[in-house]
Amino acid sequence: MATSTRGPGAATARPVRIVDVAALAGVAPGTASKALSGTGQLREETRARVRRAAEQLGFTPDGVGRALSSGRSFTVGLVTTDSIGRFTLPVVLGAEDALGAGDVAVLLCDTRDDPLRERHHLRSLASRRVDGVIVTGRRTDPRPPVDVAVPVVYAFQPSSREEDTSVVVDERGGAAAALAHLHSLGRRRVGHVTGARSHASARARADAVRDAALAAGLPLVADPLHGAWSEEWGRRAVDLLLRAAPDLDGITCGSDQVARGACDRLRELGRAVPDDVAVTGFDDWDVMALASRPPLTTVGLEMHEVGRTAARLLLEAVDGRPSPGRTVLPTHLVVRGSTMA
Which pLDDT tens digit goes with each residue over 152-195? 999 999 999 999 999 999 999 999 999 999 999 999 999 999 99
Using only C-alpha atoms, the chain has a radius of gyration, in whole angstroms, of 25
The three-state secondary structure class of 17 is coil
User: Does the pTM of the predicted model rise above 0.75?
Assistant: yes
Q: How far apart are CA 229 and CA 255, in angstroms?
A: 7
- Cα angle 49, 54, 59 (rounded to 5 degrees) comes to 170
Mean pLDDT of the region 204-220: 98
Give CA–CA dist 11/262, Å, rounded.
68
Type of residue numbered 16: V
Could you count the other beta carbons within 10 Å of the beta carbon of residue 114?
12
Strand partners, 333: 299
- Positive or negative: CA dihedral 146, 147, 153, 158: positive
pLDDT, tens digit (0-9, with 9 covering 90-100), for 217-253:
999 999 999 999 999 999 999 999 999 999 999 999 9
Contacts of 287 (CB under 8 A, 6+ apart): none
Task: Give the DSSP per-residue string, 289-332.
Answer: HTTSSSPPBEEE--HHHHHHHHHHHHHHHHTT----EEEEEP-E
pLDDT at 101 exceeding the cut of 90: no
Q: Say which residues have a Cβ less than 8 Å from residue 285's Cβ, sequence separation at least 6.
A: 86, 255, 256, 257, 298
Query: 283 pLDDT exceeds 70?
Result: yes
Output the pLDDT for position 29.
Answer: 84
Q: Report whether pLDDT(69) > 70.
A: no
* DSSP designation for 45: H
**CA atoms of 310 and 104, how far apart (whole Å):** 14
